[in-house]
Structure 1
Amino acid sequence: CLLPFEAKFYAQHGVPAVFVGHPLADQIPLAVDREAARRALDLRGEGPLVALLPGSRLTEVTRLAAPFAAAAAHIAARRSGYRFIAPMASPAAREVFEKEVAQLPDAPAIRVLEGQAQAALAACDAAIVASGTATLEALLSARPMVVGYRVSPVTAFVLRTMGLVKVRYFSQPNLLAGRRLVPEFFQEQVSGAALGQALLQELEDRGHVRELLEEFASVHRTLRRGGAARAADAILACAGRTSGADGDHAEG
């Protein structure tokens, strides 16, 4: 298992599982060099830099581009000097996002990148992120964040009608901590005002940011276990047990 709570889940259901750590925690250094990342992306200028990551799949970007762009506008209208970047996973995603930005009457300048999501997280001061692996990357990069996610209205209706929405949290930072570390918004809660204001409140509470980054560092160390090698060892050990059991059966 890549995450510690997954091993606990499998154990509760009688399935042997071993937590081996997450390869991203090994890949991303404990101290990410923000200035080096900015130089690599040729990001010049002063002022807080916010990364907007509305997802890697086109369906995610289609649902989240408008509120994420509106969040940037909300921030820019209330605080001067903020800058924005938005890494897009594909040309189609870029087209969707830029169309939403163009429709905003008060759109701030947003530099759109081709891919480079991890570099954008390394370069930024904070991020607005779609729920998924990018939230873990933001945590490992030690970047404060606000998380948003939308599913289709039909899916949301079915989940709620059948009582299938039972989790307290859905973002990986909060799941890993077992408590609310970062603000998260789901479905109709996702709006430019909600996301933008939550990020401003988070960044302007310096004591909270300090505690948040300490918690992120603790989680990073927990996940940084040489996951690939440990996973290989666990697979070999399992294969050895299976081989031994087959051999015993054959002899019998």
Structure 2
Amino acid sequence: MVAGEASGDTLGADLIISLKKRYPDAEFVGIGGPKMIAQGFQTWYPMESLSVMGFFEVLKHLPELLKIRRQLIARLLALKPDVFIGIDAPDFNFKVERSLKHQGIKAIHYVGPSVWAWREKRLNKVRESVDGVLVLFPFEPEYYHRYQIPVKFVGHTIANQFPEKPNTDQAKQQLGIAADTQLTAILPGSRMSEINRMADVYIQAAQQLSTIYPQMQFVIPCVHQKAKERVEQAIAEYAKGLKVILLDGQSRLALEACDQAIVTSGTATLECALMKKPLVLAIAVHPISYWIMKRLATTQWIGLPNILAGQELVKELVQENATAQKIALNLAKLVSDTKLRERQITAFTEQYQQLKQNASELAADAIQEWTSS
């Protein structure tokens, strides 16, 4: 098994537990993190060596990454395991999987690449590399069926981390906010490029909302100190006196406490939906990045709640439409329009039930089936 980051380590650890039920004497080796190691996994390299983000960072570490991959492939070919499971990290794992599959070793990939968002043709290469793919979303299998790739929808383990009924009052109490206070969460993103681009716009939108709803308060989880400082700068410039709480991380607490949210595109939109909180999605990226994304995109929506729903359930304000005024107006609609709110919450509840599967058990079932055939 090879996991390249914390989310993969969690998936890997759960999968090891499920596989051990079926194969009590199984041994697990490769690259993994502390959660996998706690389940008896033997890691040959530190997982952190694969956790490299961004084009230039990958370029800088490329010689080391290629060396690790070469050594790993050679070691696995000598070992001849019954099965190799690559967990996410597609750029690293698909090459390993292809090398092993061509030598008769079963290769399975857990967490399908986002072919539903762009570059569906990648599945031609995926077919050559794997004996099966485990996917997280119910709309994904049809893409793999088109390319005759064995596939199994197993659900998204993130759904298990969210309560069936969020306790909004208790979460507000934790923040020192009265239960009847209208609270809006703003999730500005996890990358500094996103935060730099959107912070001023979000704070200006919050300022406009506070004139429409004078009692409204805001909560903003900040991924690190640099992000917090950037948001503070925007507040100082555009919204002195804004009733806002800045949190160090704690995005789940912010989502559970809020009544509605403004979210930059990404996993946060799915987390907001799983917490059953109405939201508006807003995003602006570099014009060149947007041009590339538009050319490669295979879906008309950006947000996962909309992709899951197959319709614009959540308002998406993209590029020139991601203005403070449009964000404020659309969020104000969510506050005042009960039918709109209920439509989102009902759909989010269905999505929560859809994604909350016993993922590791379903994954282990599929692995057992694919490896015995």
Task: Give the TM-score taking structure 2 as reference length.
Answer: 0.61
Larger Rg: 2
Partner of 2:194: 60
- State the superposition RMSD in angstroms: 1.7
CA distance, structure 2, for counterparts of residue 89 and residue 12 of structure 1: 39
1:86 partner SS: strand
Match of 2:136 in 1: 2
2:244 is the counterpart of 1:146: no
Range 15-24 or range 5-14, more displaced: 5-14
Return the match for 1:183 from 291, 297, 315.
Answer: 315
1:191-241 deviations in whole A, cap 9, x for unaligned? Answer: 111111101112211122122211111111111112233223323433333
Q: Contact 1:73/1:107 (CA < 8 Å) preserved in 2?
A: no
Q: Where does structure 2 lack aligned partners over 5 or more consecutive residues? A: 1-134
Q: Given that residues 173 and 179 in structure 2 are in contact (C-alpha distance below 8 angstroms), is that contact kept between their aligned partners in structure 1? A: no
Equivalent residue number for residue 146 of structure 2: 12
- Larger relative contact order, structure 1 or 2 (CA cutoff 8 Å, min sep 6): 1
C-alpha distance in structure 2 between counterparts of 1:93 and 1:185, whole Å: 22
Kept in 2, the 8 Å contact 1:20–1:227? The answer is: yes
Aligned AA (1:138): C
Q: SS state of the match for residue 213, structure 1? A: helix
Map 1:97-136 to 2 at 5 A: 97-104=231-238, 108-136=242-270
The whole-number CA distance in structure 2 between the counterparts of 1:72 and 1:102 is 13
Residue type of the partner of 1:240? S
Measured against aligned partners, the alpha-carbon deviations of 1:145-175 in whole angstroms (never above 9, x if no partner) come to 0001122122224445xx3355311101100
Deviates more, 1:175-184 or 1:227-236: 227-236
In structure 1, C-alpha distance between the alignment counterparts of 2:177 and 2:201, rounded to whole Å: 24
Instruction: Report the counterpart of residue 165 of structure 2 in structure 1.
Output: 31
CA distance in 2, matches of 1:129, 1:212: 15
CA contact (8 A) 1:146 1:183 kept: yes
Using the TM superposition, give the Cα deviation of residue 126 of structure 1 relative to its aligned residue in structure 2, in angstroms. 0.3
Task: Tell me by how many angstroms 1:37 deviates.
Answer: 1.5
Deviations 1:14-41 (A, max 9, x none): 2221111111211212111111212233
Distance 2:332 2:208 in 1: 10
Partner of 2:228: 94
The CA deviation at 1:46 is 4.1
Whole-Å separation in 2 of the counterparts to 1:16 and 1:62: 42
Aligned with residue 328 of structure 2, among 186, 196, 201: 196
CA separation of 1:159 and 1:23: change in aligned 2, threshold 3 A: closer
How many equivalent pairs are there? 239
Aligned to 2:340: 208
Contact 1:46–1:81 (8 Å) recurs in 2: no
Say yes or no: does 1:222 pair with 2:351.
Answer: no
User: Are the structure 2 counterparts of residues 168 and 157 from structure 1 closer, same or farther at C-alpha, using a change threshold of 3 Å?
Assistant: closer
Higher strand share: 2
Partner of 2:300: 168
Q: 1:20 to 1:145 in 2, by over 3 A?
A: same
| Cα shift readout 1:22-63 (whole Å, capped 9, x = no counterpart) | 112112121111112122333347421000001011111111
In 2, Cα distance between the equivalents of 1:104 and 1:62? 15
In structure 1, what residue type is equivalent to 2:370? C
TM-score by length of 1: 0.88
Residue pair 2:155, 2:354 contacting (<8 A) in 1 also:
yes
CA distance in 2, matches of 1:190, 1:35: 31
Identity in percent = 32
Q: Does the Cα contact within 8 Å between 1:21 and 1:227 map onto a contact in 2?
A: yes
5+ unaligned residues in a row in structure 1: which ranges?
242-252
Aligned match of 1:80: 214
CA contact (8 A) 2:204 2:239 kept: no
